[in-house]
């Protein structure tokens, strides 16, 4: 975890959502408890910045992921005014994740086979976008 945290801080210092992975801690309001992460990553093959998020299993189904994604979208669009959109690329089988994206304001634009960087083979994915409002 220490290595991941150090790398996340270094990449955040570069402040390049068009080239680097940016991750920020999702925490409970008023507490110093990390419950997950939210940020973005650059998809070189798509030439798009995509949102990334995860919430610890004990904090799921409480609305925290949707709240964290909405907060990050607000931050992203206010910080990076030259970015008109952010995408979400989610495996079709990951129903909770794509439901989170939809509840946070992402719009489904396509379903297709896709091979992500860490996939051994192509799999069904949902492709979403969220436009600057």
**What band does 1 get if pLDDT is binned at 50, 70 and 90?**
low
Residue range 9-67, pLDDT digits in tens: 887 887 888 888 888 888 888 888 889 999 999 999 999 999 999 999 999 999 999 99
Q: Which residues contact 39 (CB under 8 A, 6 or more apart)?
A: 8, 21, 22, 23, 24, 51, 52, 53, 72
Q: Any idea which residue has 């069904």 for tokens?
A: 124
pLDDT value, residue 25 = 86
């Amino acid at each position: 975890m220490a290595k991941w945290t150090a790398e996340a801080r270094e990449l955040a210092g570069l402040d390049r959502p068009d080239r680097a992975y940016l991750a920020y801690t999702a925490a409970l309001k008023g507490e110093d408890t990390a419950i997950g992460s939210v940020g973005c990553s650059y998809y070189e093959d798509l030439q798009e910045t995509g949102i990334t998020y995860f919430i610890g299993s004990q904090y799921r189904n409480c609305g925290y992921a949707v709240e964290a994604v909405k907060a990050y979208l607000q931050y992203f669009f206010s910080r990076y005014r030259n970015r008109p959109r952010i995408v979400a690329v989610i495996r079709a089988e990951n129903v909770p994740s794509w439901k989170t994206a939809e509840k946070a304001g992402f719009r489904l634009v396509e379903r297709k086979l896709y091979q992500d960087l860490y996939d051994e083979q192509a799999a069904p994915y949902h492709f979403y976008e969220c436009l600057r409002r």
